[in-house]
Structure 1
Amino acid sequence: MAAAAASPRRVSVFQSPQELGRALAQLVTEQAAAATGGRFSLGLSGGSLVDMLARELPSAAGPAAAPERWLVALCDERLVPLEHPESTTGAYQARLLPRLPPPGPRVLIPATGLAPAAAAADYAEQLRQAFPGEDVPVFDLLLLGIGPDGHTASLFPGHPLLQEDERIVAALTDSPKPPPQRITLTLPVLNAARAVVFVATGDSKAAVLKRILEGDAEENPLPAARVRPRSGRLRWLLDQAAAKELTLPVEKPPPS
């Protein structure tokens, strides 16, 4: 699979995480309403995105968004039981999915009780069945977070998985951020999406965002900087604290 070329990007800075959350929910529902082919495929990350989406998305997901047409998958998952506090699947099942209009979306659920390699193979097969005829699944929208170290999904700085160009889902047993056993979508999948949105809030993200958004894109080794959809759109939604070190021109939407 070829490396991705640089993609145009938009950087929007909101006055607060609450304003950002409302804009994100509107963006998701607009993308869902515009999706063609009978469904809307959405990849979700965990962390603070869970509560942000749980707070804002149910009220925004009206009839035009048709949540029953959504196919929801996770961008990565920790291999822990669903009831574990580190389970992203469990968090979405508890906080977001029950609040969407029934019957709700179809959700691909990682087999977290398997060994890492087997869990990755199982999830890859689920994706291949959900995206028949596509060597690499093409999501309508991926929502990604970013760590202070520049990681996204479960792709960490300096990790060999950054070089993966064949598998669509990979396992890792040595995550530098616990828990160590995880599965993750790989860069070929992230870079095949029709739209990718990074969401970042808080002071702890300011330094790494400056490095990614204002550094040398070709020499930047951080995982999040390597997400450059080949033909899709790339957008960054930040709050003021996360964007405080940026000097590049940004969009500043009015308060909603």
Structure 2
Amino acid sequence: MTGAETVRVHPDAETLARTVALALLTRLAEVQAEGRTPHVVLTGGTIADRIHREVAGLAGESGVDFGDVVFWFGDERFVPADSSDRNEGQARAAFLDAVGATQVHAVPSASDAASADDAAATYEGLLLEHLVGEVDVVMLGVGEDGHVASLFPGYPQLDETDALAVGVRDSPKPPPDRVTLTLETLNRAASVWFLVSGDGKAPAVAEALGGADLHDVPATGVHGRTETVWWLDAPAASRL
């Protein structure tokens, strides 16, 4: 069962980032007001980094207790722990450390695991231990080829149904080794938020919203149980 799909277009990346940051803070506050601990899946990329920095700037007035928010990552580059390519490092620098997030479940790095497959198995163990029920918000960027997390067009990971996280080799984008949540895991979300900026992404957005096959445009394979929101700036929406 999937919820309603909504497209929200904003004039530019700056407005998009601030609007999504406010929406996320509002959602976290609502979940905590219900007496629950929110679970959020983070993504990497330029627009995500802008959103994260907006969250850091607005967090103080939000009333959100970030010590009671659990953060996950939709995917991670399998590189050493101190690499600037790590989504975890980018998110910590942008907002996690600043807001006092303490429940951050990072994917093991190449400093901690022998292979991307080993890192994926460890991450799956964390998910099984700490994720009860559904994720409140999954945030996903979309590549120009329509990929989400590290689920790429034509790759076998798109058909994985038995694992929560898997390793990826020979990624079409460097670095070649990665760890990604599977579609099975991403679709355990109440809300899926696609975060897309720039005219280079416009064809992929149009194809995804047009119902392309997920093997061609993986973004079409992720849907929230309550809602799926496409947060776009005007350039990203230019082909709609």
Q: Which residue of 2 aligns with 1:233?
A: 227
CA drift of 1:142 comes to: 0.6
Is contact 1:41–1:72 with CA below 8 Å preserved after alignment?
yes
Q: Which residue of 2 aligns with 1:194?
A: 190
- SS of the equivalent of 2:9 reads strand
| Cα displacement string for residues 80-117 of structure 1 (whole angstroms, at most 9, x for unaligned residues) | 123212111111122222221x3x24100111121111
Q: Which residue of 1 aligns with 2:52?
A: 54
Q: Which residue of 2 aligns with 1:124?
A: 124
Is contact 1:192–1:232 with CA below 8 Å preserved after alignment?
no
Is contact 1:50–1:95 with CA below 8 Å preserved after alignment?
no
- 1:67-86 → structure 2 map (5 Å cutoff): 67-86=66-85
What is the distance in 1 between the residues matched to 2:65 and 2:87?
Answer: 23
CA drift of 1:217 comes to: 5.2
Is contact 2:214–2:221 with CA below 8 Å preserved after alignment?
no
Change (3 A) 1:217 1:190: same
Residue 162 (1) aligns with residue 158 (2): yes
- SS of the equivalent of 1:22 reads helix
- 1:17-28 → structure 2 map (5 Å cutoff): 17-28=13-24
Change (3 A) 1:245 1:75: same
| Cα displacement string for residues 129-156 of structure 1 (whole angstroms, at most 9, x for unaligned residues) | 1125x5xxx2100100000000000000
- 1:6-155 → structure 2 map (5 Å cutoff): 7-35=3-31, 36-61=34-59, 62-100=61-99, 102=100, 104-113=101-110, 114=113, 115-132=115-132, 138-155=134-151
Change (3 A) 1:33 1:6: closer
- SS of the equivalent of 1:144 reads strand
Show structure 2 runs of 5+ residues with no match. Answer: none
- Give identity over the alignment, percent: 33
What is the distance in 2 between the residues matched to 1:127 and 1:219?
Answer: 24
What is the distance in 1 between the residues matched to 2:49 and 2:234?
Answer: 19
| Cα displacement string for residues 121-178 of structure 1 (whole angstroms, at most 9, x for unaligned residues) | 101111111125x5xxx21001000000000000000011110111000111121111
What is the distance in 2 between the residues matched to 1:198 and 1:91?
Answer: 19
Matched to 2:223, the amino acid is R
What is the distance in 2 between the residues matched to 1:158 and 1:73?
Answer: 25
CA drift of 1:219 comes to: 7.5
What is the distance in 2 between the residues matched to 1:146 and 1:37?
Answer: 32
Is contact 2:167–2:177 with CA below 8 Å preserved after alignment?
yes
What is the distance in 2 between the residues matched to 1:55 and 1:219?
Answer: 31
Q: How many residues align?
A: 234
- SS of the equivalent of 2:70 reads strand
Residue 221 (1) aligns with residue 216 (2): yes
Change (3 A) 1:236 1:63: closer
Q: Which residue of 2 aligns with 1:254?
A: none
- Larger helix fraction of residues: 2
Residue 180 (1) aligns with residue 179 (2): no
Show structure 1 runs of 5+ residues with no match. Answer: 247-256
